[in-house]
Amino acid sequence: MITMNLLFWGLTISMIGKVMLAVGVLIAHSELAHEKKIDQKVLKSFRLEHTLTIIGLILIVFGYGLEIYFYDFVSMLDCFGSDCQMAAATLLAQ
């Protein structure tokens, strides 16, 4: 039950981050296209885009970490040689 929640939250957080990136870019570029000049309003939308992009990237990385932990790929980080082969075979067999 806990692992299923972890996967859900990993996917959800990652999706929120991706949407925030898309929204930030759309806001700034639509403002620039509408104004056709760079003024205070456009610069404000660029600052908003910058903030949304940073938050979006953090959420994507955090969501990725949750997904890696859910699928137990963490055990693959410290294995070597035949241990990695056995761990990979176990993960793929599931």
Confidence band, pLDDT 50/70/90 cuts, at residue 94:
low
Spatial neighbors of 31 by CB under 8 A, at least 6 apart, are 41, 42, 45
pTM of the model: 0.61
Q: What does the pLDDT read at residue 38? A: 76
How far apart are the C-alpha atoms of 86 and 38, rounded to whole Å?
Answer: 58
How far apart are the C-alpha atoms of 88 and 82, rounded to whole Å?
Answer: 10
Report pLDDT digits (tens) over 1-32.
455 577 777 888 888 888 888 888 888 777 76
- The domain segmentation of the chain, as residue ranges, is 2-93
SS (H, E, C) the chain: CHHHHHHHHHHHHHHHHHHHHHHHHHHHHHHHHHHCCCCHHHHHHHHHHHHHHHHHHHHHHHHHHHHHHHCCHHHHHCCCCHHHHHHHHHHHHC
Q: What does the pLDDT read at residue 86? A: 73
Report pLDDT digits (tens) over 59-83.
888 888 888 787 776 665 666 667 7
